[in-house]
Amino acid sequence: MIELLAELRSCRWVDLTHAFEPGIPHFHLFPDEQRTTLFDFDEGSGTLGHGFLAHEYRHIGQWGTHVDPPGHFVRDGRALDDIGVEEMILPLAVLDVREQVRSDPDYSVDAAFIRGYEERHGPIPAGAFVALNTGWAERWPDGDAMQNRDAAGVAHYPGWGVDALELLVEGRGITAIGHDMTDTDPGVRVSAGEYPAEVYILGADRWQIELLASLDQVPPAGALIVASWPKPRGGSGFPARVFALVPPARES
């Protein structure tokens, strides 16, 4: 085991998680975080006392970089405590669509893009985590910039196409997906109250991580992702801590 730890330490570790706080970008129908200092070091600063620091956090489960289990959208679907730790370390494939998004903020990744990715980088392995790098994380933490609404209030940001997810789930047997936007679906679909991509991926008993950071620091293939979160019984979502391990051989 010491040898395994040494091998892991030889990797480059990339934090894919945004720090969260009140006011960060989030799904437009959710409330903001409320944070209360219950105890503080100085007398009179905490609402319950002093001598140490303790915060009370009040936020929706889908807050900051967070996990959505199947039960977020599917009645009787797996909740957070149903997802085993063996699913939390996975091969990582990163789909870089930043060029497409620069010319079309409503871009939706499709199955053809994934086939092209595999021609360049090899097959996506079974059990993989597939992350979508749209470049949208560069807009963090500006909520207005991430929503990118037009004069009519319609949001314009990229997302997943259902055909792409069907290929990944049914053709490649992936375990999970992730992306750097607030939603699985493109903004124009979300603005219309439509969530076909999210309905599909969670309905297929897969989980996802939203609002990933620093995907531009990870190669398209060859890295591992570690995604973990607290274990609320029956939990429908929670902030997650996510990072990638990039082996030295993949640095070139």
- Element at 218 (helix H, strand E): none
Q: How confident is the model at residue 252 (pLDDT cuts 50, 70, 90)?
A: very low
Q: Tell whether the model's pLDDT for residue 249 goes beyond 80.
A: no
- Average pLDDT for residues 9-23, to the nearest whole number? 96
Letter for the amino acid at 58? Answer: R
Residue with tokens 């560069």: 138
Q: Tell whether the model's pLDDT for residue 31 goes beyond 80.
A: yes
Q: Is 193 exposed, middle or buried (0-12, 13-18, 19+ CB in 10 A)?
A: exposed
pLDDT in tens, 227-244: 999 999 999 999 999 999
Give the CATH number of domain 2-27+62-250; options: 3.30.200.20, 3.40.109.10, 3.40.50.300, 3.50.30.50: 3.50.30.50
- Average pLDDT for residues 14-18, to the nearest whole number? 98
- Average pLDDT for residues 105-125, to the nearest whole number? 98
C-alpha angle 178/182/185, rounded to 5°?
A: 75
Count of alpha carbons within 13 angstroms of residue 182, beta-carbon side: 26
Residue 214: CB atoms within 10 A of its CB come to 17
Task: Give the whole-number percent of the chain exceeding pLDDT 90.
Answer: 93
Q: Name the segment(s) of the chain with CATH classification 3.50.30.50.
A: 2-27+62-250
The pTM is what?
0.96
pLDDT in tens, 43-101: 989 999 999 999 999 999 999 999 999 999 999 999 999 999 999 999 999 999 999 99
Q: Tell whether the model's pLDDT for residue 134 goes beyond 50.
A: yes
Count of alpha carbons within 13 angstroms of residue 207, beta-carbon side: 27
pLDDT in tens, 155-193: 999 999 999 999 999 999 999 999 999 999 999 999 999
Residue 153 C-alpha from the chain's centroid: 25
Q: How far apart are CA 214 and CA 84, in angstroms?
A: 26
Q: What is the pLDDT of residue 4?
A: 87
Task: Please enumerate, as own/partner, the contacts of 117-121 that have beta carbons within 8 Å and a separation of 24 or more.
Answer: 117/93, 117/220, 120/220, 121/93, 121/220, 121/221
